[in-house]
Amino acid sequence: MLNSNGNVTTTTADYPHEVTTGGKAVIAVKLDANGKANLVLSGKDASVTPIVYEGTVLAGQDGDQATEYNAEYSARALQAKASKVTFELKHSLGLKLEALGNKEAAKYLNSKETGGRDYKVTYTDKDGKPVSVDSKVKVAIDKAGIKGNFYLLDSDGNSLPGQTINGKIYYEVSVNKDGQATFTVAGDTANDYVTPVVFVDNGATKNELDKNDLQATSDITYFVEKVTYSAQLVALGADGKPVKSALADGNDYIEFVYKLVDQNGKPRRASDATSVTFNVSAGAGTLVLPDGTEIAPDGKESITKTISTSDTEASVRIKAKEGSTAYVTAVGSRAGVVLPTTDPASLTGTFTSKGELVDGKAYSGLVTDVDKANHKVTLEINGKKHTLSYTDSSLYISGVVATLPNFEAELNIGDTVQYVPGKTPYFDITNNVAPDTTAPVLSSAKYQASKAAVPGAKAGVTIQGIKFTATQVGTDGNDVTIKLVDTDTTNTTASIAYDSIGKVLVVDLAGETPAGGTYAITDTLNTVITAVNAKKAVTGIEAVLDNGATGTTLATVSSGTDKTAGGVNAEAAINNSTLVLTFDEAIANTSSVNVQVTGKTLGTNPVYSWDNDKKVLTITLGAGADVAVGDVISSTGAKDASGNIQSGNVTIQ
């Protein structure tokens, strides 16, 4: 510090300065023999312009100590001035906030009709890449613009808890694997407004927003009474999540949903019922509508649904019997007025055969084989095995980015892996199991003697002179209940309904009430047969007139307890006796398995064949075979996919 005369004192200060009250502090820098010295400045939240000047040695002093100088600054002193230096906080991480949709958001009504507006956060590391999944970002909402109730919702529409500190409400959201998180601001009072600030709590004040936190803000949002209605068209899978494809197995489906939404795409009821017409066009394969109606390849059908004033959406579920596409549009109208075109205007769903995998769709697969030398893994997905390369792929372990060595170190047979095919495939080990060290076991050996073929038979039942028969041979056709009812007195032809789960076929007979007469059934045996056969592709039941019956006879209501019976599965002939060996897990080296029965022979040129799962070995015995039930059979050399070797024996049953 300097005294009032400018002389250097022994009093110290934290940094050089000059204040309006007169206090001054300087730094004394001692030069080396070459007249040089280094001066390093550091600071925080400040800007300075360093000036270095020569002080004056006090009379009678030799200038060895700083206190032997007068350091009063003079414009005439020998001096040098450096450029301005600014000390400010530099964040290495990246944070961005984007406001989506309309800034005038519909106000909150309830947990389903939330109104509000979405914001999207993007959080990146120093290299500009997404941070780890589930990294936290805080959201600050200033209460100054809020008079009513405020809600901050996560991407699933769930209300998040907040903490109020010094006039601000603080929330926390987690980012996904792409380093992003979406949240919704919502308020139940018109004219309230908010401007969200997202931040990483790395500044000066813990749990509160301060100027040193890494932060980002975006557009203001106002909550308003006015609702501008529009409509969305979405495609959902059986799990209720958005999909682009489903299996063409007659069971899996794509549900096309028409949603009434507000100006920011949030569900909102209307004051009047809304009529929605779904227009469905089939691709190269047959589609099936909810009522069993089939749309032939390149065919079209329309289905009309109603959205009541207590709901916000209507939908139609579409299945496929074979590979195809479903092109769907939907048109809504209310009180005779056609509503705006949906967003998007149309959707196309793809129905694939069981073995196909579609780019962009997430699949959960069981690891059945691993080839780390070639960076390949075999996943069983929907009952089919797919051998996939994970080279040049996005690799994760429980949602956390993984290197190739780390991924392979954790990858074991029995793991569950989420796989998303595409230009850059995605692999995530979601369930990791310990490495397999257990050898396969020969579980059983069964002897089957040769036998004649069984032709099989179709199930059937006769009701009122109509013989109802399964269209296919086998026991699956047994126990189908067939009912002739008359519950609809307005239909002019017999209608067919089939419950495939309960195995019930209902024929609702037609009738009429002539002028001045009484109601009576008009369906004959012939017209019932025609109606049943028109739906046999769906029901699996066909009908013919039984011997001795008259087709013009009027049908009547049946007891409702008649069931098909007599179906028998066909069985092929066994020309040679066989041994069937079953292992408890798949065998990787099927050609190296050695089977022996001590003291017995499997005959001349026995034939070995494995099932698709490589667990069951069928040996067709050759001529002269003398093995029998009770003999002990041994198997050696069988390896599982992990290299564990089987040995041991069992008694033939």
Residues 69/62, Cβ–Cβ less than 8 Å:
no
What pLDDT does 354 receive? 61
The C-alpha atoms of residue 27 and residue 231 are separated, in whole angstroms, by 71
What Cα–Cα distance (Å) separates residue 243 from each residue in 154, 235, 236, 570?
Answer: 21, 6, 5, 40
CA distances for 93 relative to 2, 44, 178, 396, angstroms: 43, 19, 15, 22
20: CB partners within 8 A, 6+ apart? none
Strand 79-81 versus strand 69-70 pairing type: unpaired
| Sheet of strand 180-187: strand arrangement | 94-99, 117-124, 180-187, 150-153
Could you tell me if residue 460 is left (phi over 0), alpha (psi between -120 and 50 degrees) or otherwise beta?
beta
| Global confidence as pTM | 0.49
Residue from 231, 233, 306, 230 nearest 272 by CA: 306
Phi, psi of 260 (to 5 degrees): -80, 125
Work out the end-to-end distance of the chain between its first and last CA atoms, rounded to an integer number of angstroms. Answer: 104
Q: Omega into 405 within 30° of 0, i.e. cis?
A: no
At which residue do the structure tokens 């925080």 appear? Answer: 44
> Distance between CA 585 and CA 613 in Å, rounded?
9
**Rounded distance between C-alpha atoms, residue 203 and residue 126, angstroms:** 17
User: Do 87 and 47 meet the contact criterion of CB atoms below 8 Å apart?
Assistant: yes
pLDDT at 45: 67
- Phi, then psi, of 153 in degrees rounded to 5: -110, 145
Structure confidence at residue 251 (pLDDT) = 86
pLDDT of amino acid 88: 65
Residue 227 is predicted with a pLDDT of 92
- How far apart are alpha carbons 430 and 415 in whole angstroms? 8
pLDDT less than 70: residues of the chain:
45, 87-90, 354-355, 574
**pLDDT of res. 474:** 93
Q: What is the pLDDT of residue 320?
A: 92
Q: What is the pLDDT of residue 464?
A: 94
178 closest CA partner among 201, 209, 160, 155: 155
Separation of alpha carbons 511 and 402, rounded Å: 70
How far is the C-alpha of 407 from the C-alpha of 409, rounded, in Å?
5
